[in-house]
Amino acid sequence: MKKKNPYELYLSTELETFEDRLNLAKYMDLRFENRTITVDFPVEFNGCVFERCTFSGDFKKSQFIDCLLEHCDLSNIDLEGSRFHRIKMTGCKGLGVRFSKSKGQYVTIEESILNYGEFADVDFQDMLLKKCDFSQGSFFNSSLQRIQLQQIDLSSTDFSDTPLSGLDISDCKIDQIRMSPKCLKGLIVSSDQAIALASLLGIVVK
């Protein structure tokens, strides 16, 4: 028996399009299209699809489970302390989005712009990030386990006090990246990146 892809979303084949006001604490098996998603309280979305939606308001301690977000705008929303499980984001924008203290597993983010994002104190496991812009962001004091990075812009991103063992950034842009020397052990880099990062260890390369 073929093993199921743990990143594969569990979505109903028949999703009802939701057009009412969002005043409930839980939404399940629904489709949201071309609308603004505004809440100011913790909310759970389970098995939902969001297409060309704009998120606004306070989403602290919310939950997104088996959700697909396509071409959505999450800029400047607060998702602190939220949980994400089996989520896929494609072509989304999240300038200044705040994920601090959130937890995520089996999350895929593709071709999205999340620069200036706040990811401090997060617990992220088993994530796949492809062709995204995370520049000018912060992953301060975070736990990153089994994170796959493909063509990610990490320019001027802060990884201070975040253990980086096993993280492969060899395919990423890392200009002016910030890391703690004590957390570099096990980090996977390209030969060119190794020279650039040598200064973090006080090494002078001639």
- Over residues 8-36, the pLDDT tens digits come to 999 999 999 998 888 999 999 999 999 99
25-201: what CATH class? mainly beta
Q: Which helix (H) or strand (E) holds 192?
A: helix 191-197
33 and 132 in contact (C-beta within 8 Å)?
A: no
- Over residues 49-85, the pLDDT tens digits come to 999 999 999 999 999 999 999 999 999 999 999 999 9
Task: Look up residue 138 and give its two tokens.
Answer: 């912060």
* Count of residues making up the chain: 206
- Over residues 110-120, the pLDDT tens digits come to 999 999 999 99
Q: For residues 97 and 116, give the distance between their C-alpha atoms in angstroms, rounded to a whole number.
A: 7
pTM recorded for the entire structure: 0.94
Q: For residues 27 and 139, give the distance between their C-alpha atoms in angstroms, rounded to a whole number.
A: 30
Q: Spell out the domain ranges in the chain.
A: 25-201
Per-residue pLDDT for 1 more than 60?
Answer: no
